[in-house]
Chain A
Amino acid sequence: MKAWDAIIIGGGHNGLVNACYLQRAGLDVLVVEKNDWVGGAATSRELTPGFLYSNCSYVCSLFRPEIMRDLGLPRFGLQVISYEGGAVFTRDGDYLANYRDHDAHRREFARFSKRDAEAYDRYARDVTRQCRFIQPLLMRTAPDPTSLRPRDLGELLYLGKKFAGLSAEEMALTLRFWTMSISDFLDEYFETDVIKANFALSGIIGTALGPMSPGTAYVLLHHYMGEVDGSVGAWGYARGGMGAVTKALAASFKASGGTIRTGAEVDHVLVNRGKAKGVVLAGGEEIYGKLVVSNADVKRTFLKLVEEKELPDIFLRRVKNFKIRGSSGKVNIALDSLPEFPALPKDSPVYRGDMHFTDSMERMERAYDDWKAGRWSADPFLDMVIPTTLDPTMAPPGKHFMSCFVQYAPPKIAGREWTDADRDGFAESVVAQIAEYSPGFRERIVHIEVRTPREIEAEVGLTEGNIFQGELTFDQLLFNRPVPGYAQYRSPLSGLYMCGSSTHPGGGVMGAPGRNAAAEILRDLAKSTSHMSPAHDVI
């Protein structure tokens, strides 16, 4: 019976990136995907005629350009378009906008505080400095600090040198960034609540923490270290929805000779004497592979796909304790016309950016209080975009697709499973909030897709619906991601690797975990990695 060189469990973006690099290294690679489509959390499905959604992830910045280039993704249709800015609507009928133009941005902030308007440069400088420190680490395997192997020592030295290269002030800032709450961090720069709320959002997205929880400052950084074609910190829409990313990856993979099987759910990994031998599908079919790479999160991989008896106890305990808490949901809406927001001038570029309604830190923290109590937030915070203002491919002319990322949504409702009624209540909290700022909004709705952690876990396979496959707090980063001793994409089982966002450098549609895992696998196989570009220089 055929044995593939490598079987990738899960056709998400990292699984596909990994598959592409392995196939291009000459391996015979099979991707097995439980859904009838690939993409994982980067999909664009047509759930109502004429409308393409970004069903889960919805904006793009982190996806590494080195990977786009290596895998020829533009040729397979990937195009990322920077968007124009955004705004927070305030409850008094005004808004605070973010503009791409530096001076417009300053003048806008000056409407609220002249001081904060001028403080933005300082803030941007500090964030940029930290991004420059972290960016080169994304495309490197985190060193094992306990290892004496020359490679680990070399990587540790690299980290140490980079850190030592910082000024005293920057070092202090780095440590603060990794440990502070986003609220405390922003207090150091800004005095105006709405301006803080505007920035704080990036600190809690996808994280089961509130803006006042320590560790959230790093999450903000994680959202700034991406780029759109060299414009660091910029975010854009993938033309055709985020599914365009995985569509291009799948096409690239197939063009290089790879094989994808959809509708093929893995029941468990075949293990023989501590070595992975292949996978068994839900229907019982056995597929053999010389090695198996899991794109699933670390909990799903080791608590569901591998029998507990095959794994060391401490490892297992750490996997169980890995924080991968559900905190968010998604509401995707097809609209028969562009919603109006009376607070916004009709010609405002904000329509083409991301919009929020949470105008104070307290509201944001209170939304988190609901999560702690096991409820979805009565007054949730939304990250709302209308990609069809820039992307003509996702809806018929004049009609629009609106994506609402919603926080907070707990993995369970007061300890029990979500019900359909809960789901509808959750959706209503979102629609009601938008309608408050946009009269006639409900009437424009053609179709609505609601995804609580329940739906996300069931469809995409993300444990608890956590979008990052594990929270991005410092205790779960670098050589601690996902668990100490196994941060280099290998697992306790020989032949079983991890390539999902549970691994370094973490979540977001970045592709770096998939790429880095491929590099480690090829190293183990003593194969060339010359087809993998090194990280772009940060000069």
Chain B
Amino acid sequence: MTSQLDNAVRTLAQSHFRTLRIGTPFQPRIDALAKTQDWYNWAGYRAPHSLWDEELEYFAVRSQAALFDISPMTKYRIEGPDAEAFLDHVTLRDVTKLRPGRVHYTAWCDDEGFVLDDGTLFRLSPTRFRLCSQERHLPWLLDSALGFDVIVEEETEAVAGLALQGPTAFAVLRDAGFAGVEKLKIFDLAEFPHDDGTATISRTGFTGDLGYELFVPADKALSLWDRSMAAGELRGIRAIGYTALNRARLEAGLIVANADFTTAEHAIRADRRRMPDEIGLGFMIDLEKGHFNGRRAILEARAKRKLRHVLVGLEIEGNIPAEHAIVYHKKSKDVGLVSAAMWSPMAKRNIAIASLTRPYGDTVVEDLWVEIYAMRELQYQKLMKRAKVVARPFIKLDRRTANPPSDF
């Protein structure tokens, strides 16, 4: 019997080669709404670029509430008496300052101070954390755990995640019966009863808007989706795909690993690796907290002025998005590259994130230009447009942090 059972389990485990892009625990609901059938590969999952209209999906984020499936995000459970000390050793920020029930945005580096990834760290209890990121890091985390009393476990498939973002997000959750959700301040998290189990809800997101992220065990995913959708019906809730979310995140000035910078473990070309100070994450570095991975290299780079790059927000004249345009100084010297760009409906400005070679973007910020190659009916319209270095985020919405959160 046992061996028959083992064989059945093995056969099931082998069968993944038949479905190269697997569904998330929410897939039945998403498939039902996927009018555009516009999919992309997110870390091996079949994820929607759009579901019904990428333009209008964006406005659902900014006007009502948008539901976005974040299950493919890589998730690690980090637990044990030394979990705090371990994460303090691995990541840039001071984890001892992260109280249970709080979340912070952080990043981690290799020994040479190059960024391996950025992500969010959820402190679920004094000894239990969840680290969410774009890329996979299990070997790195396990190797770093040497000498710490800590368990590191990959739980990407076991945990389903939803982002509920937009002005009515709070009202949706309250109406869905998550009692006490109004108490969550920005970057707070708490557990709520859901479907004979627990949902972890944090007031976090990737849109710069009022919003929450909800995590449940995979088998409670559909009930969570249904509960949110039912409660949101009168508050304009819509499911969205990545294109809309990507616009919202750009307005919020947030960066995406391996889109706006190349992660150190994936960089084939050594010169593509970036230190935190080179991608706008220098603020995370806590030199007071003692040793953390990459600290020495980062200090040395700062002291010896070895930081060669800088990531900046740009405002570009006109309204033609400058995606992947080259940035010039005085219209002639190539000083960098735009990694993300769009016309911002909220800011009514043409915005971009760019990586520049210092001193440009750092001490030299005048006379910067971008060369836009806009393909229009099989012809490039070449435009040279003035670019101004501006602070990120490009938009700041009071409702994101308002307490108590408002209904819309």
Whether A associates with B in a native complex is yes
**Contact of A111 (CB < 8 Å), options: B7, B13, B41, B265:** B13
- B14 touches which one: A111, A117, A169 (CB < 8 A)? A111
| Given A94-B10, A170-B270, A121 and B17 contact (CB-CB distance below 8 Å) | no
Complex alpha-carbon distance, A169 and B7, angstroms: 44
Q: Which of A124-139 contact B (CB under 8 A)?
A: 125, 128-129, 132
Is A99 among interface residues, defined by CB-CB distance under 8 A?
Answer: yes
Measured between C-beta atoms, what is the minimum distance from B78 to chain A in Å?
Answer: 14
Nearest-CB distance from A323 to chain B (Å)?
33
B residues less than 8 Å from A114 (CB atoms): 138, 154
Per-position 1/0 for A321-358, Cβ under 8 A of B = 00000000000000000000000010111000000000
Across the interface, do A118 and B41 meet the contact criterion of CB distance under 8 Å? no
B139 touches A122 (CB 8 A): yes
Indicate the size class of the contact surface on chain A.
Answer: 20 to 34
Bound together, the chains give a CA A169 to CA B114 distance in angstroms of 13
- Whether the Cβ atoms of B142 and A115 lie closer than 8 Å is yes
What separation, in Å, do the CA atoms of A119 and B139 have in the docked complex?
Answer: 6
A398 and B138 CA atoms in complex are apart in Å by 45
Q: Write out the residue numbers on chain A whose beta carbons fall within 8 Å of the beta carbon of B11.
A: 345
- The reply on B358 being an interface residue by CB < 8 A is no
CA distance A114 to B158 in the complex (A): 14
| B1-44 interface with A by 8 A CB criterion | 7, 10-11, 13-18, 20-21, 41, 43-44
Q: Does B268 contact A (CB under 8 A)?
A: yes
A228 within 8 A of B: no
Whether the Cβ atoms of B112 and A169 lie closer than 8 Å is: yes
Contacts of A111 in B (CB 8 A): 13-14
A166 part of interface (Cβ distance < 8 Å)? yes
Q: Let me know if B136 and A118 touch, CB within 8 A.
A: yes
Chain B interface bracket (under 10, 10 to 19, 20 to 34, 35 or more):
20 to 34
Residue numbers in A under 8 Å from B44 (CB-CB):
102-104, 106-107
Q: Decide yes or no whether B266 CB sits under 8 A from chain A.
A: yes
Alpha-carbon distance A106/B16, docked complex (angstroms)? 10
B17 touches A118 (CB 8 A): no
Cα A125 to Cα B16 with chains together (Å): 24
Residues of A within 8 A of B128 (CB): none
Q: CB distance A129 to B16 under 8 Å?
A: no
Across-interface contacts of B17 in A (CB, < 8 A): 97, 99, 104, 108, 345, 348-349
Q: Nearest A residue to B270 by beta-carbon distance?
A: A167
Residues 242-284 of chain B: 1 if any A CB is under 8 Å from the residue's CB, otherwise 0?
0000000000000000000000011110100000000000000
Q: Are B137 and A118 in touch, CB under 8 angstroms?
A: yes
Q: Collect the chain B residues with CB atoms within 8 Å of residue A97's CB.
A: 14, 17
Q: For the complex, what is the distance from the CA of A309 to the CA of B1, rounded to whole Å? A: 76
Residues of chain A within 8 A (CB-CB) of B15 are: 345
Interface centre among B15, B21, B44 (most CB of A within 10 A): B44
Report A-chain residues with C-beta under 8 Å of the C-beta of B137: 118
Check A129 against B139 for contact (C-beta < 8 Å).
no
- Cβ of B155 to closest chain A Cβ, rounded Å: 10
Q: Which residues of B contact A115 (CB under 8 A)?
A: 138-139, 142
| A524 contacts chain B at the CB level, 8 A cutoff | no
Contact with A along B129-160 (1 / 0, CB 8 A): 00000001111001000000000001000000
Q: How far is the CA of A125 from the CA of B140 in the complex (A)?
A: 14
Select the residue from A97, A99, A114, A132 with max chain B CB neighbours within 10 A. Answer: A114
| Given A104-B16, A118-B137: A125 touches B10 (CB 8 Å cut-off) | no
A121 CA to B44 CA in the complex, in Å?
A: 14
- What separation, in Å, do the CA atoms of A114 and B18 have in the docked complex? 20
Is A313 engaged at the interface, CB distance under 8 Å to the other chain?
no
Chain A contacts for B20, CB-based, 8 A: 101, 103-104
From the candidates A128, A132, A347, name the one contacting B18 in the complex (CB within 8 A): A347
Complex Cα distance A129/B270, Å? 9
Q: Knowing A104-B17, A345-B15 are in contact, say whether A122-B265 is a contact too (CB < 8 A).
A: yes
Given that A103-B44, A121-B265 are known contacts, is A108 also in contact with B16, CB under 8 Å in the complex?
Answer: yes
Q: By the criterion CB–CB under 8 Å, are A103 and B41 in contact?
A: yes
Residue of B nearest to A99 (CB): B17
Which residues 21-73 of B sit at the A interface, judged by CB distance below 8 A?
Answer: 21, 41, 43-44
A125-B265, A132-B268, A167-B270 are contacts. A103–B43 as well, Cβ < 8 Å?
yes
Residues of A within 8 A of B270 (CB): 129, 166-167, 169-170
B74 to chain A, nearest CB (A): 9
A345 vs chain B, min Cβ distance (A) = 6
Contacts of A121 in B (CB 8 A): 136, 265-266
A286, B270: Cα distance in complex, Å: 57
Determine how close the nearest CB of chain A comes to the CB of B406; give it in whole angstroms.
41
A170 to B138: give the CA distance in the assembly, Å: 22
Closest A residue, CB atoms, query B135? A121
How many whole Å from B404's CB to the nearest CB in chain A? 41
Q: Map CB proximity to A onto B294-305 as digits: 1 under 8 Å, 0 otherwise.
A: 000000000000
Is there contact, CB below 8 Å, between A345 and B14?
A: yes
CB nearest to A167 among chain B residues? B270
A8 to B10, CA, bound (A): 56
A332 to chain B, nearest CB (A): 28
Chain B residues near A169: list those with CB within 8 A.
112, 270
- Report chain A residues within 8 Å CB of B18: 347
A-B pairs with beta carbons under 8 Å apart, 10 shown: A103-B41, A104-B16, A106-B44, A107-B44, A111-B13, A119-B138, A121-B136, A121-B266, A132-B268, A167-B270
Q: What are the 4 tightest A-B residue pairs by CB atom distance, in nearest-first order?
A: A103-B44, A167-B270, A118-B138, A118-B136
Q: Told that A103-B20, A122-B265, A189-B139 touch, could you supply 8 new A-B pairs with CB distance under 8 A? A: A94-B10, A94-B14, A106-B136, A108-B17, A111-B13, A114-B138, A122-B139, A129-B268
